Amino acid sequence: MDKELCSYPELDKHGFTCPVELTMDVIGGKWKCIVIHQLLDGPKRFNELRRLMPKVTQRMLTLQLRELERDGLVARRIYNQVPPKVEYSLTEFGWELAPIVRSMMDWALKHADTVMEHRSQSLAKTQA
């Protein structure tokens, strides 16, 4: 690929060489896109997110929410009541990722069987 096509001065100043690198830095990891996916339906409390994502640990969900909040994708709203109530929602900035997350959903639904078939074939080769 031509080096000129891979030059992004607006990203270089932040230490990134590629737009996908920056995007993955923001939404990468196992849980961030899943959190965003769950928040597409509206604000959620922490325990509601835990129920919707049973494989994530409390510590990891907390970390992912903090990072999404730090990057401006998720807002944390604290209600002044007893017991305390906290809700998480997508910010306007976070909503810009909705088409990407929906495209990921569409891709997974379309290709799940193919991916699993390739994984099975690969596993069979390594065990042979």
> 127: pLDDT confidence band, cut at 50, 70 and 90?
confident
Q: What angle do CA 1, 103, 100 make, to 5 degrees?
A: 70
Task: Kindly state the average pLDDT of the residues 70-92.
Answer: 96
107, 108, 32: which is closest to 71 by C-alpha?
32
CATH tag, 9-126: 1.10.10.10
Average pLDDT, the chain: 92
pLDDT at residue 122, rounded to an integer: 87
Average pLDDT over residues 106-127: 92
Give the pLDDT band (50/70/90) at residue 25: very high
Q: What is the pLDDT of residue 12?
A: 84
Q: Where are the domains of the chain?
A: 9-126
Cβ–Cβ under 8 Å, residues 79 and 87: yes
